[in-house]
Amino acid sequence: VKFIATLNHKILGQRELEQIYDPDVDEDGNIQGFIAMAYDITDQRRAEKLAQENEARFRSLTEVMPQLVWVADGEGKVIWFNENWPRVTGTTLKENLGDGWLNVLHPEDRVSTVLNWKDTLAGVSNQECEHRLRIKDGTYRWHVSRAISIKDDAGVTVRWVGTTTDIEEQKTARDFAVSERKKIYSL
């Protein structure tokens, strides 16, 4: 038998204990008694609750942001997207997991984006990349993706958190300004 019980300790206060009772059976199958074990899991439960609260805050925050937010594992495979991803791309979350997100990139931008991501994973690039993303109406819009690494205590990257932001208007304005500048200087 295994269960969780609450204990009010005089000094430590309220504690949660995982209790396990295992029957002590003789050779004939008769129960002689019980072996009882109790583990104080109060700190573990608090940590789990805090992690759940932090996760809920993170998800709530990502749902009110206009950006596409994503999380990748230490190897760079995407494991989570916020709900904006399917709304913008018209694809399902499942089909974009792992490397599936590459399918919504403009074909001309895939190689450079993959190379940039590999450089980012290797610590070579600046963790930012511009590319065109296919949106749900089938057209492509310019986006910039940025990522930061989350490291464990040993300094090993265990997660990547990133955003993908629509920059179509800024890119169009920037390209127009460059074009106009070229006209002025070529006169």
The 3-class secondary structure across the chain, one letter per residue, is CEEEEEEEECCCEEEEEEEEEEEEECCCCCEEEEEEEEEECHHHHHHHHHHHHHHHHHHHHHHHCCCEEEEEECCCCEEEECCHHHHHHCCCHHHHCECHHHHHECHHHHHHHHHHHHHHHCCCCCCEEEEEEECCCCCEEEEEEEEEEEECCCCCEEEEEEEEEECHHHHHHHHHHHHHHHHHHCC
Does 187 score more than 70 pLDDT? Answer: no
pLDDT at 43: 85
Q: What is the mean pLDDT of residues 174-180?
A: 82
pTM (two decimals):
0.69
Mean pLDDT of the chain: 89
pLDDT per residue as tens digits for the range 111-156: 999 999 999 998 876 688 999 999 999 999 999 999 999 999 999 9
pLDDT at 183: 79
Return the higher-pLDDT residue of 183 and 186: 183
Does 19 score more than 70 pLDDT? Answer: yes
Q: How many CB atoms lie within 10 A of CB 45?
A: 14
Compute the radius of gyration of the chain from its Cα atoms. Answer: 27
pLDDT at 39: 87
